[in-house]
Amino acid sequence: GDDEIVSKATKKMIQGEQIITTWAPALLKMSLDELLWKDSDDITIKKLWEYLCTYCYLPRLASYSVLEDAIAKGVHSTEFFGIAAGYTGERYLNLKLNETVFSINQSDLLVKPSIAMKQIMEERKPDAVGGSSMPDSSGDFSEAGGFGGGQEYPQSGSTSAQTGGSDAAAPKNTRFFMSAKLDNTRVNKNVNDYLTEVIQHLMAVDGADVELTLDVSVNAPEGIPSTTVRTVSENCRTLKIQNFGFEDN
């Protein structure tokens, strides 16, 4: 019957990786950064799901639970996005970042990690700074202020103190590079595996600047049809791809 046809078609699309059954949070963040929240600090999960179901140039997920799983994994980190129950116009409500979430509602908001971190840090600030910088009766500053308080200073012969620990070993492994050829029939799985098993670990390193690029080279001895050239060019412009083009050998 019709159900059997749909089931077979779905199975074939999953096998051909046209439908994604596991989505890395890094891939979700890439879609958000490149297309969906470029001009906003947040997006509702309901709207995100509607976009994923509507636009063919976005990843096609097997079910809503795939999105839920990617969100739950992403929120359990500081690298991808935060999640909030709402926004008052000034602050996000019940904002979570780098936490385990057990319930995800379509009305919830995904929040850019920098924005989420800024609010969380502001909310953690103490009402007043501890200690006093007022001078004591002797005219010296207290221990909190800097002078006096029985503080000892290093002798002139203390080289390590003067140089700020210049003898410390220099950092190692400060750069990582990787080049991998993708299987044309398993692109989604290849990229997802690389992001989950390799890149995601590097993105979690403090201070790491991770840059991802995609190089595509197509050789068509018989030439690329003008209709394909027009479609690809329009899609590249829509996706804000800066460097692309066609040429003759």
Tell me what pLDDT residue 72 has: 93
Q: Which residue intervals of the chain are DSSP H helices?
A: 2-15, 25-31, 45-54, 64-75, 113-124, 159-163, 187-194, 200-203, 226-238
Q: Looking at the predicted structure, is the pLDDT value of residue 155 above 60?
A: no
Please count the other Cβ atoms lying within 10 Å of the Cβ belonging to residue 183.
Answer: 10
Q: Looking at the predicted structure, is the pLDDT value of residue 129 above 60?
A: no
Confidence of residue 156 (pLDDT cuts 50, 70, 90): very low
Confidence of residue 16 (pLDDT cuts 50, 70, 90): very low
Tell me what pLDDT residue 5 has: 54
Confidence of residue 41 (pLDDT cuts 50, 70, 90): very high
Question: Measured in whole angstroms, how far is the alpha carbon of residue 241 from the centre of its chain?
Answer: 19
Please count the other Cβ atoms lying within 10 Å of the Cβ belonging to residue 230.
Answer: 10
Contact 43, 212 (CB under 8 A): no
Q: Which pair of tokens denotes residue 207?
A: 């201070």
Tell me what pLDDT residue 14 has: 45
Q: Average of pLDDT values for 190-210?
A: 81
Alpha carbons 32 and 38: distance in angstroms, whole number: 7
Q: Of 83, 50, 43, whose CA–CA distance to 64 is shortest?
A: 50
Specify if 108 maps to a domain: yes
Last residue of a domain, one of 124, 143, 171: 124
Q: Looking at the predicted structure, is the pLDDT value of residue 15 above 60?
A: no
Tell me what pLDDT residue 223 has: 92
Q: How would you label 46-75 residue by residue, b for 16+ Cβ within 10 Å and e otherwise?
A: eebeeebeeeeeebebeeeebbbbbbbbbb
Specify if 72 maps to a domain: yes
Task: Give Rg (Cα) of the chain.
Answer: 26
Q: Report the range out of 19-33, 39-53, 233-247 with the highest average pLDDT.
A: 39-53
Tell me what pLDDT residue 195 has: 79
Q: Looking at the predicted structure, is the pLDDT value of residue 81 above 90?
A: yes
Q: Looking at the predicted structure, is the pLDDT value of residue 228 above 60?
A: yes
Tell me what pLDDT residue 152 has: 46
Q: Average of pLDDT values for 22-50?
A: 91
Tell me what pLDDT residue 11 has: 53
Tell me what pLDDT residue 185 has: 74
Specify if 187 maps to a domain: no
Considering the chain, what is the average pLDDT of its residues? 79
Q: Which residue intervals of 58-183 are DSSP H helices?
A: 64-75, 113-124, 159-163
In sequence order, the 6+-apart residues with CB closer than 8 A to the CB of 145 are 131, 132, 133, 134, 135
The residue among 81 and 159 whose pLDDT is bigger is 81
Specify if 148 maps to a domain: no
Contact 73, 200 (CB under 8 A): no
Last residue of a domain, one of 124, 155, 178: 124
Confidence of residue 147 (pLDDT cuts 50, 70, 90): very low
Last residue of a domain, one of 124, 154, 185: 124
- Structural domain that includes position 80: 2-124
Q: Average of pLDDT values for 188-194?
A: 78
Specify if 159 maps to a domain: no
Query: Is the same domain home to 221 and 116?
Result: no
Say which range, 3-7, 21-25, 106-110, 200-204, has the weakest mean pLDDT: 3-7
| Domains contained in the chain, number | 2
Specify if 33 maps to a domain: yes
